[in-house]
Amino acid sequence: MAEQRYPFAHPILSNEEAVAYERTLLTTLAAERAAMQRAGHSLGKSLLADYNELQLSRDPSVVVLLIGKGHNGGDALIAAEILRSTVGSEIEFVVILSCDTDALKPLTLEALARLRRECFRLTVCERPSPKELSALLRSLPSVDILIDGLLGMSFRPPLRDYESDLLGFWNDHPQVRMRVAVDLPSGLHEEFQVGEDTCFCAGFTYATGIVKKPLLHDESRTVTGRIRYLDIGFFDDLLKQTDGSHFVLSAQTLAPLQSWRSAGSEKRQFGKVLLWGGCQEMTGAILMSAEAALRSGAGLVTAVSESIHGVLRLPEVMWQQAETVEMARAYDVLVAGPGMGFRGPLCDQLPDMIRRHKGHLVLDADALTPELLDLASERQRQLGDSTSTVITPHLGEWRRIRPDDMTDDPDDFVRYCQERGFIGILKGSFTLLTAAGKSFHSPCGGPVLSRGGSGDILAGMIGSCLGQQGDALQAVAQALVWHGRAADALARDKGAQAVRTTELFDYFHQAFRAEPDEM
């Protein structure tokens, strides 16, 4: 049986697999040059967009680049070109080489020569000593962006003494606003252990072309910072995609939602979604889920809540109180849990709703209890592949519902969902989506989502996308990527601190306008 291909996701490879795969693609110097240009261009635009989240009153004025002889250094130097052309000629660059200039690989040397020609505020230092580095930094007011292009996926430990000292110097330097790693933080490898190895400590890691497995390791989280995926076309040909169990969601996830709607469309084609939640104390949660379902394209939305005051806020939604379960059969998707609480009429009637409902089921928040999940699992076995059950815990909820023989290890969550036939989302800094034993990782979103209500919005979006999309896994992936990209747009416009969760709605449309190669 052939391995299934996912048009909305790209494989995550080990360093060794990535090196071998690139060799099959980049067979000429021209192909390598084109890939480096795409990587550097995407890197420059993406890191500048993320820099905006700092909400500073000025553009970056000082950028330091740590450059090794390999192609990561070339990517970083091309990114510097993009920064110069975007921000302006006043930006000052300091390039620190870990080797002599004539030891650079040809394409990296080309990129450095081009930067020399185009940038008049440029200092290049070959293997400066700590004393020379300190003197150099005293001449700079601060470092706005530090780009690590020292080492790449071909690195094998241990670090050379000079590289280790250089990384240690910059890790300890306090006057850096944004720390960026190209592809992998220098020093990171398959068996990396915090405290045993020196590694560049990044605030953002931009995986260029291929996401490498070391970025997923628990030990790596302290040095990778936020992970972005820069798609430079390595997996445009699905026939060249490698088999595996770990994938990263790509911008193509949203492609079906970016096409024209049929001229003959009518509302029932876009799904009938029933939302179940919102006790007297938490009506805001169901309001956010309902608005999310509306804003993400659902044709008809009904909300069942203990309070119907939301009718004034969202007149497009049909509001009902929990009085009957007969409606269960009439909807394509049931989303249960946002603001439901753990007692009261909503909780009492939900088991019968789950038994009667024949469409897609989304269990979120307060509906994530062992009893309801057992019921949903039995329902899933009875209905088979005709419908899907989606669960959406964050780590705290997963600890509440997981069996005694399971841990915080994401692989245990994957196994749990596979055993029960669920599509699962484990929300976190690098959110995991799983189905049928496969793992899909979303690099979208960030700390701006670390506030109450963001999960309620995601639940409503999942229900909406399930009602519109034939493939359930792709529908859930669409909601996850859409949610994350809207969060990125919000943070880049207003920062992550002084915003409200509901401001996310105003950026739903921006998710479709973001750069297609950046995730």
Residue 59: its pLDDT value, please?
86
Residue 9: its pLDDT value, please?
94
State the CB neighbour count (10 A cutoff) for residue 497.
10
Residue 2: its pLDDT value, please?
43
DSSP 8-state assignment for residue 394: B
Residue 221 burial class via C-beta count within 10 angstroms: exposed 0-12, middle 13-18, buried 19 and up: middle
Encoding tokens for residue 409? Answer: 């290890």
Encoding tokens for residue 62? Answer: 């000082």
- 3-class DSSP assignment, residue 35: helix
**Distance between CA 186 and CA 160 in Å, rounded?**
12
Are the C-beta atoms of 186 and 161 separated by less than 8 Å? Answer: no
pLDDT > 70 fraction of the chain, expressed in percent and rounded: 96
Tens of pLDDT, residues 255-281: 888 888 888 888 888 889 999 998 888
Tens of pLDDT, residues 366-418: 999 999 999 999 999 999 888 999 999 999 999 999 999 999 999 999 999 99
Tens of pLDDT, residues 302-357: 999 887 766 668 889 998 876 666 777 889 999 999 999 999 889 999 999 999 99
Question: If you average pLDDT over residues 429-454, what whole number do you get?
Answer: 94
Of 408, 410, 368, give the one whose Cα is nearest residue 390: 368
Indicate the average pLDDT of the chain: 92
- 3-class DSSP assignment, residue 304: strand
Encoding tokens for residue 359? Answer: 């469409």
Give pTM, 2 decimals.
0.94
Domains and CATH numbers, the chain: 9-244 (3.40.50.10260), 268-512 (3.40.1190.20)
Residue 239: its pLDDT value, please?
65
